[in-house]
Structure 1
């Protein structure tokens, strides 16, 4: 790399191909080649990913440089999420943007509560027909901001049941924005919005862009329109810009993420960005990859890559048809027990599901058969509040001396608070 700034680069890294490692090695390579760590901007999807990346960079640099590497990686001060980096830059440039640098940041819960206050003040919570809840209102607002789309389009595409409220929602959002400005508050979406708007001023864009020689972005398939406009304004010619991601893993559309960002990236520059694909998978067997490749093959638009591995074939995946959800839970429980008989401990077995609440029937089946399990993500079915309420009621009927159960049940009665209970 030397110190000539690298041209734009897109790394298409398939599942299990060592994507995080690739980015960490690139950063370490830059440091070892003499790049200033304070002039490297590294953006990841989560805070955890950013700190994990910094640790890896330190380990790799240490191997090459010995103990002098600690200084380098400690100074990787610009590693974080888009929202985190945005907050920091906005405080730095607050004066130029007409912002009060002492602004506070509202998380999703706070923002929904703020939206609710405005909703009440405008009298929308008392409408004849049911007005969208605070959470839905915030989600619609957020999608308008992140997808850079007008409200009518967002409602038509994603919230068709709210189309009749377009005029009221416009009024609500205007009042919501005004309330935030009066209180000197920014919500998560503002961190990107204000940053993107700041970058439309050529002087500010040049000033912020000049702070960084190298800009790297992980999980680029999960970025939205706002994030890509920020990135292209930071490095309009793409110099020193590296993005890593996998178009085939763009499935969440979190905060209006769009796969277009990664598909259109090479053509955003002239000459186009170089594309490198990592297609060796270190995680799976060839039988599983064959199935995955067959699914990915059906995508209408994609970067061509077929994952391969030198790990032995393994047994092919099975597609099992069951009658209903209860049957599915029984099938899995029986399979778990069979595997255990065959020598696989319970700890070596995992069940994946798309959303936390999908595991309900299975949890009940496992509990019924006395098969211990740990659930990651979301509450266990029997731990969620409404289930605990119902169980407390049943426990109290069964045993009127159970004070904890009685205390919980009594508070469900309108007008009874903790003191009376």
Structure 2
């Protein structure tokens, strides 16, 4: 393949990236600017010009899907032998290869999930933890390990971090140590251990490190803003004292700080490599000017939050994107009285888009938390729309997929030559697949979506094309085995319902950003400037997922008829039109819910601290009606009694404690000490449903405390 053919179709900046083949390079690439195109063409040009040897170049990215896309593009460009892997995949391959000579024996088994082993650690320490707390402990342990902390060094490093449930840092450290003991006793390693052990082997054995240096001469790292300290340490070992490193990233898309990711390495690359070539990609080929302008404005309107101890936290100058597309549809902003009305209206809007020719798989509803998806599952099902959930368990590790693969492998032994199209659907019917989607949601729906994805792929591969004959069952099974090895999951037909975090790296023609209210975005546990900045970047990522159509919405209450105490996200200030108010939809789904909703509450003035009189800024302060650093007026014994009741109630219902009442709500109840249901209902966080379920019990505790 000639140089001109490889460079053809690249813009000026992309061509500059692709043409500079030697020495360190930093590519600052905004969303939709064609960074993957630029770096894959750079690799291909280096291979075809003889500067790179395919087997001696390692391209690293952060998701298996992105690595699979990169491999596909490199194959098409005539560089099929270049390794494109995730950090963990590359490290695991090296660990498996070098383990016998570095350690001896067989490598320990890699665990898929930490939860059972953390639960065992909890039992060993005679503590108790529900599923939500175990999940949070797993995330905290992952953060600690990628930050290269041990159980001993964790306590000091955890100062200033959000608590894991109600656990003290010392207790988390003990659980961290017990979890490591559980793995040691059972000869197991987790995904963070893969990186830690690879680093240890390379640092301790110069012969093995030399072998790595002889194997790999050139490196490319995508999504460099998301590297953790541990991944950066491994990368430095791979590169050594050489400078053949190309990194690509965008500090404005750093949304995984809670996992240890930091854009510092990207922002300081020119300091580490003073002779590095820096190229900025700002031409956005993905989104319309309306979407791009909104994204730019969001970043440029970043404000310093008042009373934040880290108000001077660094905010890198964002890339100002320039859309290369023709003008498109106006961005929509809508307000709704409650969550149900919002979900019903969005489902009706999506139904209209699908009826007018938009593919369901080209539409997404993006939410801040996975807990918000249920209302949208119900609304989409009621509208007769298929959907898929993203952000859960990895596709090939789902029980139904493992069961399906076992079935298909067995069938392929006797029916290998039969066409994949039709045969796969027939076989999967024996384990629950049907042509029609189930009406129910949750696990039943997820199982059907997984099996449906296999059927859809079998039909796509099973259709004869000009490039070759239709795939047989045997060939389909082989394709699925190859995809499982690289975690390259098939696409599912249907509207995507996903968290903003799991949407990173993806794009859709139409995107609905829902639930954009204070307490959800920014999330309520964002407590400092760094936390608010990360939430702003998360919204930026959501906006830039849209190509043609973007809809932003929020609701004033959680349930129909509930108190309208919510406000639009602060990030929408200056972005939304002044009169972006709820518009009653004509569709039946929307109007049915709206008719049950209470009128919106009248706007109220600023809430002031009951102690010092200062205007309160954060939702937690407004709920307490005082500054967080002003002295509390509640009785500690009363608050303890309320927390004990909440713990008992949450355990009985098998839900996290905060689902009953948050700490801020309990403190507000303790401070106000309401004597009637009406007075209790006026406390922020005590909605109609909670008043009905828990009101009498709470008032009973308050009355008993007063009597004592």
TM-score (norm 2): 0.47
1:384 maps to which of 417, 439, 442? 442
Of residues 361, 375, 390 in structure 1, which corresponds to 2:388? 375
Q: Does 1:87 align with 2:92?
A: yes
Map 1:180-259 → 2, pairs under 5 A: 180-201=183-204, 203=206, 204-237=208-241, 239-253=243-257, 255-259=259-263
After TM superposition, give the deviation of residue 124 of structure 1 in Å.
Answer: 2.7
In 2: Cα distance, 1:112 partner to 1:135 partner: 7
| Worse-superposed segment, 217-226 or 190-199 | 190-199
Q: Which residue of 2 aligns with 1:142?
A: 142
Larger mean Cα displacement after TM superposition, 321-330 or 285-294: 321-330
1:219-265 Cα shifts (integer Å, max 9, x gaps): 21222111112112322445111111222221244632222232222
Does the residue aligned with 1:10 lie in a helix, a strand or coil? strand
Q: Distance in 2 between matches of 1:312 and 1:386?
A: 42
CA deviation digits over 1:94-134, x for unaligned, max 9? 25643644322112x2x321222233233234xxx989843
Task: Mark the CA change 1:229 to 1:29 in structure 2 (over 3 Å): closer, same or farther.
Answer: same
CA contact (8 A) 1:17 1:282 kept: yes
Give the distance between the partners of 1:82 and 1:361, measured in 2 at CA.
36
| 8 Å contact from structure 1 (residues 143, 154) kept in 2 | no
Find out whether 1:332 has 2:336 as its counterpart.
no
Give yes or no for contact 1:9–1:274 (8 Å, CA) kept in 2. Answer: yes
Q: 1:63-105, CA deviations, whole angstroms, 9 ceiling, x for partnerless residues?
A: xxxxxxxxx51x33x3311111111212233256436443221
1:22 correspondence with 2:38: yes
For residues 145 and 99 of structure 1, the distance between their equivalents in structure 2, rounded to whole angstroms, comes to 24
Paired residue for 2:363?
Answer: 350
Tell me the residue number matched to 1:40: 57
- Structure 1 spans left out of the alignment, 5+ residues: 62-71, 389-421
Conservation of the 8 A alpha-carbon contact between 2:124 and 2:178: no
Q: CA separation in 1, counterparts of 2:202 and 2:315?
A: 30
| Preserved CA contact (<8 Å) 1:140 1:154 | no
Q: Distance in 2 between matches of 1:169 and 1:238?
A: 40
1:293 to 296, 301, 325: 296
- Looking at structure 1, the residues matched to 359 and 174 of structure 2 have their Cα atoms a distance apart, in angstroms, of 55
Q: 1:209 to 1:153 in 2, by over 3 A?
A: farther
- In structure 1, C-alpha distance between the alignment counterparts of 2:165 and 2:371, rounded to whole Å: 25
Determine which structure has the larger helix proportion and give its number.
1
- Which region of structure 1 is more displaced relative to structure 2, 258-267 or 93-102? 93-102
Aligned residue among 355, 379, 386 for 1:365: 379
**Per the alignment, in what secondary structure is the counterpart of residue 312 of structure 1?**
coil
Deviation at 1:154, TM superposition (A): 5.5
Partners of 1:51 and 1:387 lie apart in 2 by 27
Name the CA shift for 1:376/1:301 in 2 (closer, same or farther; >3 Å).
Answer: same
1:60 partnered with 2:63: no
Q: Once the 2 structures are TM-superposed, how far is the Cα of residue 137 of structure 1 from its aligned partner?
A: 2.6
**Superposition pairs of residues 150-169 of structure 1, within 5 angstroms:** 150-153=153-156, 155-162=158-165, 164-169=167-172
Q: Please report how far the alpha carbon of residue 327 of structure 1 lies from its aligned counterpart in structure 2 after TM superposition.
A: 2.6
Q: Give me the whole-angstrom Cα distance separating, in 1, the residues matched to 2:258 and 2:41.
A: 28
Distance in structure 1 (CA, Å) of the matches to 2:54 and 2:362: 42
Query: CA shift at 1:293, angstroms?
Result: 0.9
CA RMSD for the aligned pairs?
A: 3.4
Q: Distance in 2 between matches of 1:335 and 1:41?
A: 45
1:23-60 superposed Cα distances (whole Å, 9 cap, x missing partner): 21122112112222111111121223223212211211
**Larger RCO (CA under 8 A, 6+ residues apart):** 1
Q: For 2:179 and 2:358, locate their aligned partners in 1 and report how far apart those are by CA, in whole Å.
A: 54
1:124 match: secondary structure: coil
Distance between the aligned counterparts of 2:210 and 2:361, measured in 1? 53
Counterparts of 1:316-327 in structure 2, within 5 Å, are: 316-327=330-341
- 2:285 matches 1:282: yes
Partners of 1:135 and 1:315 lie apart in 2 by: 41
The residue correspondences of 1:120-131 to structure 2 (distance < 5 A) are 120-125=123-128
CA contact (8 A) 1:9 1:243 kept: yes
Task: Please name the residue that 1:411 is paired with.
Answer: none
After alignment, is 295-304 or 37-46 more displaced?
295-304
Shift of 1:352: 2.0
Distance in 2 separating the partners of 1:348 and 1:187: 34
Closer, same or farther in 2 for the Cα pair 1:101/1:12, shift >3 Å?
A: farther
Please tell me whether the aligned partners of residues 289 and 308 of structure 1 are also in contact (alpha carbons under 8 angstroms). yes
TM-superposition CA deviations, 1:358-400 (whole Å, max 9, x none): 23223333444x3423234268993325999xxxxxxxxxxxx
Of 3, 20, 31 in structure 1, the residue corresponding to residue 47 of structure 2 is 31
Query: 1:16 Cα shift?
Result: 1.1
State the SS of the aligned residue for 1:277.
Answer: strand
Contact 1:336 1:346 survives alignment (8 Å): no
When Rg is computed on C-alpha atoms for both structures, the one with the higher figure is 2
Q: Could you report, residue by residue, the CA deviation over 1:294-348 in whole angstroms, capped at 9, with x for unpaired residues?
A: 112245522552211231111331222222212312432443466578x455748
Q: 1:324 to 1:381 in 2, by over 3 A?
A: farther
Give 2:500's aligned residue.
none
Instruction: Determine the structure 2 residue equivalent to 1:172.
Output: 175
What SS does structure 1 have at the residue aligned with 2:59?
strand
